Amino acid sequence: MLHSISFQKYHGTGNDFIIINGFNLNVSLTEAEIQQMCHRRFGIGADGLIILRNLEGFDFYMDFYNSDGKPGSMCGNGGRCIVAFAHDLGLIKHKTRFKAPDGAHEAIFHHHDKISLKMANVTNIEKHEMGMFMNTGSPHLVLFKDTMDFDVCSKGREIRNNAKYKKEGTNVNFVIADQKHPLIYTYERGVEDETYACGTGAVASALTLNTLKNMESPIQLKAKGGTLTVYFNVLGEANYTDIWLEGPAKKIFSGTYFNE
């Protein structure tokens, strides 16, 4: 029997997502179906899939899955994309409060080139042998590099699978800091590849730049897919609040996916 489902495709600085409107529908997908839809040869192609669901007490719930088909932790670019999607559906106007895998979030839709997303507070930053580790809604290890004379994918995969990070693994951010707008390169677990941008990784990198390089808020970071800006307040050592991630989120196309 042929199965079909309507979808939208959005991206936030090149980090792309399939988004499905499940606000008034009971949308259920298996791990294998999500893998197939996200496949860049045999499916639509995306770094992840998000189902917008109805949730009492919030404007909506962000049900997020990585391209491996498994439920993901917080995704900052995906968060901005679903805010843009909710705005385009007419569910929200300027401000919103929604729930994601890591808890409640606020966001402001200015326009598609500027969406501000409030992230979770960060109160613990660990200095590891390879870099600075923290959870910004998802776990990240941030490493400073002078040049990118190595393969991000292979090096990132090696670190992601390091025994220190156990079965869950970690996302890995490589940052070149010695310029006005630091460069960021990201290997994402769940995608198991380099992505064009990473929102939670941009936050982790900005906080590391403040911790180790004394860079002040706001910090702009240039990823492969565009520029992300991170705002924050510092309350003390490894204690950051009022963290906002700002950047674009744009619709690429819409369609109907068929799967036999």
Domain spans of the chain, in order of start = 3-118+249-259, 125-246
The pLDDT tens digits along the chain (260 residues) read 347 899 999 999 999 999 999 999 999 999 999 999 999 999 999 999 999 999 999 999 999 999 999 999 999 999 999 999 999 999 999 999 999 999 999 999 999 999 999 999 999 999 998 999 999 999 999 999 999 899 999 999 999 988 888 778 999 999 999 778 899 999 999 999 999 999 999 999 999 999 999 999 999 999 999 999 999 999 988 899 999 999 999 999 999 999 76
pTM: 0.96
What pLDDT was estimated at residue 236?
A: 84
What pLDDT was estimated at residue 135?
A: 96
What pLDDT was estimated at residue 259?
A: 79
What pLDDT was estimated at residue 210?
A: 96
Active site residue 198: yes
Give the DSSP letter string of the chain. --EEEEEEEEEETTEEEEEEEESSS-----HHHHHHHH-TTTSS--SEEEEEE--TTSS-EEEEEETTSSBP---HHHHHHHHHHHHHHTS-SSEEEEEETTEEEEEEEEETTEEEEEPPPB--EEE-SSSEEEESSSEEEEEE-S---S-HHHHHHHHHT-GGGTTT--EEEEEE-SSSS-EEEEEETTTTEEES--HHHHHHHHHHHHHHH-PPSSEEEEETTEEEEEEEEEEETTEEEEEEEEE--EEEEEEEEEE-
Supply the CATH classification number for the domain 125-246: 3.10.310.10
- Beta-strand relationship, 193-195 and 183-188: antiparallel
Active site residue 153: no
Point out the catalytic residue in the list 38, 81, 153, 198.
198
Supply the CATH classification number for the domain 3-118+249-259: 3.10.310.10
What pLDDT was estimated at residue 3?
A: 79
Asked if 3-118+249-259 and 125-246 have one fold, the answer is yes
What pLDDT was estimated at residue 16?
A: 98
What pLDDT was estimated at residue 36?
A: 95
